[in-house]
Structure 1
Amino acid sequence: MMEEVNEVTSTLSVDIQSIKVTEVVKDGATLTFLIESEKLSGTGVYHVDRTYDDFEWLQQHLFSQEEVSGIQGVIFPPLPVKAQANASAKVIKQLGILGLGEWQAYCKAMETFVRQIAAHSILGKNNAVEIFLTSSDPPGRHRVRKNIFNRLSQAMEGMRNEGHKDVDEFFQTERDHNLVFTGCAKTAAERFLDVVQTEQKIAVACGHFSTALRLCVEQGEDPDQLDFSKVCVKLSEVFESIQKNVTSVAENNVSTLGLGLDLESRYQEAEKEMLNRRTCKLVELETTRRNAEKAKPVKKAAMEEVKKAAETEFDHISGVAKEEIARLQAARVKMLQQALVQWCEKQLLTAKESADQFNQHLQAFRGMA
């Protein structure tokens, strides 16, 4: 259980780059993810199964580390919205690109979430990460402390302080940029989702038309009927090829640039949460300073100590936050670059394969003529 995890610095016994969510198993309405990771010692492989509750357990446990210095300056890796075996339209809309097709994209997103936590310089040291990756006993399935009211309170406080002027130009600029980028990233992900859904609809329509053409084939000895039937069969094959091509294009879009845009959108929101937490701490600090200034002589010394402690904490949070922002910006460029390169490579390969297939169809039509 969460209460049983000791808050001690731990060294992961797994190779972070080897962490994989290999499969998802559906049992009624429950989804179980199979996670594989190689032992750092090279002596074997860990195999664990985790439900979404287990992922939430890990996330919420990391959220609750209030005693870790500077934790409120951390940009927490964003956990995807909970998927369901028979998801409603509302859930699919929340999932976006991760709600399309099979489970490969969603498994990849969950894999990315775990890897980023394990690789994090602060979060990866928490013993909960080691337990999540190696324990045969599911850590969060029986009891999950969600701290929902605490997080809701923080979110509401963050919204109230969004317009508060920052004392640091760096963070004010970052907040302004984040406000714009969050909207742009969300819009880009939504528009790309529209493109993929349209491609899927086109693929389905091509499949239906291919089937309809097959129904036009007639048996008989009439030469005209035989010629017409041959043309229908060849056209049906052409539209089958078009269906496969458009389906592959849509799948490529989801597995490359689609995942990249989705992660970018969720990380912009995660950065926004961190910036809001820091702004709330700034408001608390300013309140503490005012209280120290107004304190009566008998309480002056005590209030000054409180003020110094608040300043030290705020400075540490700001230092961690600057490092996190720099790390995220570097990772963001690399991630989007990688997604674009993979997207181009896969689409070029699909285009080449389709061109070869369509050339064969063209030669077949010329032979018929």
Structure 2
Amino acid sequence: MMMTEENEVESTLSVCGHNIQIAEVLKDGEMLSFLIVSQKLSGTGEYHVHRNYDDFEWLQHNLFCQEDVAGIQGVIFPPLPAKAQVNTAAKVMKQLGFLSLGEWQPYCKALEVFLQQVAAHSILSKNKAVEVFLTNPDSPGKQKVKKNIFNRLSQAVDGMRKEGHKDVDDFFQTARDHNLVLTNCTKTVTEKLLEVVQTEQKIAVACGHFSAALLLCVEPGDDPNKQAFSKVCVKLSEVFESMKKSTTGVSENDVSTMGLGLDLESRYQEAIKEMLFRRTCKLVELEHARRNAEKAKPVKKAAMEELRKAAETEFEDISRVAKEEITRFEAVRVKMLQQAMVQWCEKQLLTAKECADQFTQHLEVFRGMNFK
């Protein structure tokens, strides 16, 4: 599920960006450590590095801190999943949703996709921090992190004032309107599917418990009636154990296909929302600069004009990059969701066929039983 251009960009990294994998996750108390494996472009081997979540945040901060890159605030940054709280199950479920299921496999997959998308991005992949993160055996997270240009506190303060500001470009106003709808809808659909998965998991657990309980009804002895009853209990136990495996398989399929697909879509819609908000803030700044230049006294006129020109250039760069990013995203997102749906159908069909074969065997056994 890659949110990247169909044509791969020319890589500036020493690794194959699309082959980055998280091969293992280790739990040390409340800390998770991830083994990241990257294939060398030279074809002579692989890089193996261990990273924790602080290291991922270090990489994200470095990507945010590229003030010297023209239009950087117009980039739709690949969304980094929230930090996992290892020993607080309820909080993890609320923060991570699907990513908290499956003994951290979905979470590792989300981090893996994040790295693949960063490495495949035409702007972000050029940052030296990406190469360091993927190839340096030492943990980079201990280095001092600079204050980045996307301070969330300042966003929260300015949000009520700027978020509803009318855009001067119909393209971006339409994008903002669509994003508002899609963000809410995607979040709702993701939450509803998560409820379905949790219900499937509860059903699987209940089937397992009932299967075990049936075995407790088995009675020893030579009494034909007891033997017949015990035989039925054993067989029914096997049936409910098959039901447990079937429901568990359906649940796992939901998570690994549609669950991860909707989770990524939801987080990307939030990333688009943040990008559009940054651009709106720059629009407000530009309008202020223009008004200040118009009202400036002669002694300050030249300085105000310079500020206006600088604001216009920055806003134009952000808008140019943002338009390219939105166009690219829209071209890929439908294919990404389609891929998730196709995978979901294929896996569920395979699981259904396997379950049908198992239940057919159970049925034949019951038909052959003599209860007289």
Give yes or no for TM over 0.5.
Answer: yes
**Number of the residue aligned with 1:364:** 365
Secondary structure of 1:165 counterpart:
coil
In the alignment, does 2:85 pair up with 1:87?
Answer: no
Secondary structure of 1:68 counterpart:
coil
**Number of the residue aligned with 1:281:** 282
What is the distance in 1 between the residues matched to 2:18 and 2:302?
51
Matches within 5 A, 1:2-151: 11-141=12-142, 143-145=144-146, 147=148, 150-151=151-152
Aligned residues: 361
Quote the offset at 1:368 in angstroms. 0.5
Contact persistence 2:64–2:150 (CA under 8 A):
no
What do the CA deviations read for 1:258-307 (whole angstroms, capped 9, x no partner)? 00000000000000000000000000000000001101122222212221
Quote the offset at 1:149 in angstroms. 8.9
Quote the offset at 1:334 in angstroms. 1.6
Matches within 5 A, 1:319-358: 319-358=320-359
What is the distance in 1 between the residues matched to 2:146 and 2:226?
71
What do the CA deviations read for 1:20-56 (whole angstroms, capped 9, x no partner)? 0111001111100000010001011000000000000
Q: One-letter code of the match for 2:73?
A: Q
The alignment-based identity, stated in percent, is 74
What is the distance in 2 between the residues matched to 1:65 and 1:14?
22
Summarize the Cα distance change of 1:148–1:99 in structure 2 as closer, same or farther, 3 Å threshold: farther
Q: One-letter code of the match for 1:300?
A: K
Contact persistence 1:158–1:279 (CA under 8 A):
no
Quote the offset at 1:147 in angstroms. 5.0
Q: One-letter code of the match for 2:213?
A: A
**Number of the residue aligned with 2:229:** 228
What is the distance in 2 between the residues matched to 1:222 and 1:146?
80
Contact persistence 1:164–1:279 (CA under 8 A):
yes
Summarize the Cα distance change of 1:304–1:330 in structure 2 as closer, same or farther, 3 Å threshold: same
What do the CA deviations read for 1:126-154 (whole angstroms, capped 9, x no partner)? 00000000001110146545659933213
What is the distance in 1 between the residues matched to 2:357 and 2:69?
59
What is the distance in 2 between the residues matched to 1:231 and 1:88?
39
What is the distance in 1 between the residues matched to 2:245 and 2:153?
46
Quote the offset at 1:247 in angstroms. 0.3
What is the distance in 2 between the residues matched to 1:164 and 1:319?
19
**Number of the residue aligned with 1:4:** none
Secondary structure of 1:261 counterpart:
helix
Listed as ranges, the gaps of 5+ residues in structure 1 are: 1-8
Contact persistence 1:51–1:141 (CA under 8 A):
no
**Number of the residue aligned with 1:312:** 313
Listed as ranges, the gaps of 5+ residues in structure 2 are: 1-9
What is the distance in 2 between the residues matched to 1:143 and 1:98?
29
Summarize the Cα distance change of 1:367–1:184 in structure 2 as closer, same or farther, 3 Å threshold: same
What is the distance in 2 between the residues matched to 1:147 and 1:18?
29
What is the distance in 2 between the residues matched to 1:161 and 1:143?
32
Taking structure 1 as the reference length, the TM-score comes to 0.95
My pick for the range that moved more, 327-336 or 263-272, is 327-336
Q: One-letter code of the match for 1:135?
A: N
What is the distance in 2 between the residues matched to 1:164 and 1:56?
31
**Number of the residue aligned with 1:170:** 171
Quote the offset at 1:337 in angstroms. 1.0
Contact persistence 1:158–1:277 (CA under 8 A):
no
Q: One-letter code of the match for 1:342?
A: Q
